[in-house]
Structure formats: C-alpha cells, structure tokens
A = this chain, B = another copy of it.
Amino acid sequence: MHFKIEKKLENCLGRVGVITTAHGVIQTPAFVPVGTKASVKALTPEQARDLGAEVILANTYHLYLQPGDELVAKAGGLHKFMNWNSPIITDSGGFQVFSLGAAYGKQVSKITKITDSSLLIPERFDDSGAPRLAKIGQDGVSFKSHLDGSIHYITPEKSIQIQHNLGADIIFAFDECTSPAEDFRYQTEALERTHNWAKRSLEEHDKLNKKNNIALFGIVQGGRDETLRKKSANFLKSLDFDGFGIGGSFAKEDMQTAVRWVNEILPEEKPRHLLGIGEPEDLFMGIENGVDLFDCVAPTRNARNGSLYTKNGKINIMNAKYKNDFNAVEENCKCYLCANYSRAYLAHLFHGKEILAATLASIHNLYFIINLVKKIRQSILDDNFFEFKKEFLKGYLKS
C-alpha cells in the first residue's frame, strides 16, 4: 500500500491524497460503504461501483461466524468470493465482539448519548450486575455468537489470521472498543490491553504478510479522555503500522476533540480511518481534522428505512405527501434513482414492501454521501473548503 498527499488544507489538519493498493486506488478523503457480510446490502458490486464507491469495508466478526474465514480463503479470498475487484478493508472484529458478541442482547452504537441512563450501565456488567467482560483476559476475548449463542475465543493473533484468510487490502489490529460511560480506571486498563494487542497484531501480521500483500492499520482508542487519547496516538505512532484507525463509541460532542488530539500526533504520511462515522456534518469535521477514510452503515440502513439524504436534510419517503410527488427525490441529483424515478414511485415501492425500494434508496444514499466526500475533496483542491462547508451545512442542518 502506498499513500501520497496531494494537497493540504491551510491552518488545519485536512488533506487530499491517494491510497494505492494491489486492487486499485482510493482517492482520499473517501467514504467507504459497508458490506458487512461480503455484500453491500441490496446492491450488486456493479451498482456500488457505478454510484462511485472505490472501496468497501467488510466485517471480520460476521464473516468469521458465517460463512467462516477458511471457507472464504478456499473460495479465493473476499474479492473473488463477492465479485468485488477494487480495494477491500476489513475491521478487526473488536467492535462487534463487544457490541454484538460479549454484550449479547445489548447494542453499543458508534454515537452515544451519554445522558441516556441505559448506557450508564457499563457493558462489562450484565443485567444482574455480574461482571460480563470478565471474559476479557490479557490474551483475548471469549464471546457468544449473536447468531446461535455458540462460544468463541478471539485473540489478536486469531483476528489477524482471520483477516489474512479473508484477504482484504487493508486490515485492522484487534482492539477493545469501550463505552464512553466507562470510568477512567477501566478506560486505562482497556487501553493498555489495546496497545498490547496492537503489538501482537503487528507481529502476527508480519509473519503472515511474508506471502501476502496486506496493509495493517493500528487503532487508537482512549475514549473521551485527552490524556488517554494522546497516549494512545503516541504509542501507536511508535509502531510500524501502515495507517491508523480512530476507534471509539463517541458522544457526538466529543468526537471533534478526540479526532484532533489524535491526528495532531499521528504521522502525517500515513492514512487515518475514522471508524464507523458517516453523517454529513461528521464528514466535514473529520476531513478538516485530518481524516482520510470513513465507513458507516448509516447510508444503507437509513435507506432501507425509507430515510433519504437531500441537501436540505433527510426526508422520509413513507410520509403521505410523497405518494403524489412526481419530482425526483433530489432535484439535479445525478444518481440512478433520481435520474429515472419519482418520489411517488419510490414511495409506492416502500408501501408495497418491494425489494427494489431498498436497492434504489441505497443507491441514492450512498451516492449522496460518497459524492459529498468527493465534493469536499474537490473543494480542498479548489481552495474553497470552508465556503463549501458553510454553504452545505446551512442547507443540510436547517431542517
């Protein structure tokens, strides 16, 4: 993997670059659609490519459980298995192990309202108050499958082995993603574990990569605490990673500071991926603060719920007024949905529970987000990032 910075945004951390992988280039900043189970939900690879996706992210946790990483390896790797010949990223499985596995039955989301009392119960305790994440050892994590309740044990070495079997272009070190509701002492312990696992991930990767050609990113954690975030960035910087992920279950108001603290420390010449974030306002924030890659399920998940992005904010196509609306979802949008269908037709498909509804809405939302990041990229090249940001957010956030 090779990363080249083409232009920097003045007086801040933002930059435009190009990542080159064995499966093609990614022009950064870039939004990475999520294909959790080796499929960007409701889309063929050609549809994803045609709407502008240059890279996708698949989830290690899900693919390890089903169909299994060894099966994917036998199939010739993820690219061949899922017919996607452009770059692929896999995450480490860490986030899902904690949100779907260990915290079985509870949801940990990437953006958390820490004022929500239900989240003030640390996820390391189960409903009875008994320690739940006691199953985290220094060596790894045992967790229950969200599919069938079976018990699995993942170590950093195992995560890297799984990811090498899957065969993405960029993979991640195994980490522990804590809730922002955890106390400082727990955050500190968890961070030490994440750093220890980072080193072990790197060692395992170096062994396996003698015959492979995969880039490994380390993940910065540390929650909302400035000291821990900076400590984490400094530690990871000292290791020979090809790039970095910025992890965490963020309270929205903490995200910007955490990203800035980290990116002021991380080496400029290596790419940075803000994990699991993708709302328009967060994309501007991240890019301004030096983020190169974003992934998020929001565009496709919102699409399947009938929530569509427009430059004036999201609309819900199930609203009765759209039944008779023969305009495009978004005027002047060049996506396949807007070029060929009306709001009335999309509303009809949703009311009729037609599968095509999910496909068309996903195409629009991914096009909107990917294209927004491309426009932001161009605005940096054209020296008008701040004007574009102001203009876009004025329309988008007013609703």
Contacts and interface: CB of A to CB of B under 8 A. Distances in A.
Nearest to A354: B39
Contact of A71 (B74, B336, B344): B344
Interface stretch (A163-171, A225-233, A283-291, A355-363): A355-363
A324 B342 CA distance: 42
Contacts of A82: 345
Interface stretch (A40-48, A185-193, A205-213, A373-381): A40-48
Contacts of A356: 39, 41-44
Contact of A355 (B38, B41, B71, B342): B41
Nearest to A65: B352
Contacts of A347: 67
A58 B348 CA distance: 14
A299 to B, nearest CB: 15
A125 to B, nearest CB: 31
Contacts of A62: 352
A320 to B, nearest CB: 12
A341 B39 CA distance: 12
A386 interface: no
A118 interface: no
A37 B354 CA distance: 8
B75 A345 contact: yes
Contact of A67 (B38, B81, B344, B360): B344
A351 B358 CA distance: 19
Interface in A216-246: none
A66 B340 contact: no
A323 interface: yes
A326 interface: yes
A355 B42 contact: yes
B67 A348 contact: yes
A367 to B, nearest CB: 14
A265 interface: no
A134 B356 CA distance: 38
A83 B341 contact: yes
A349 interface: yes
A352 B83 contact: no
Given A71-B323, A71-B324, A326-B74, A66 B342 contact: no
Nearest to A47: B44
A44 B324 contact: no
Interface string A317-347: 0000001101000000000100011101101
Contacts of A336: 44
Interface of A: 37-39, 41-44, 62, 66-67, 71, 74-76, 81-83, 323-324, 326, 336, 340-342, 344-345, 347-349, 351-352, 354-356, 358-360
13 contacts: A37-B352, A38-B348, A42-B356, A44-B359, A66-B348, A66-B351, A66-B352, A67-B344, A67-B347, A75-B344, A75-B345, A76-B326, A81-B345
Q: 4 closest A-B pairs (Cβ-Cβ)?
A: A42-B355, A67-B348, A37-B352, A83-B340
Given A38-B345, A44-B336, A66-B352, 17 more contacts: A37-B352, A37-B354, A39-B354, A39-B355, A41-B354, A41-B355, A41-B356, A44-B356, A44-B359, A44-B360, A66-B348, A67-B344, A67-B348, A71-B344, A82-B345, A83-B340, A83-B341
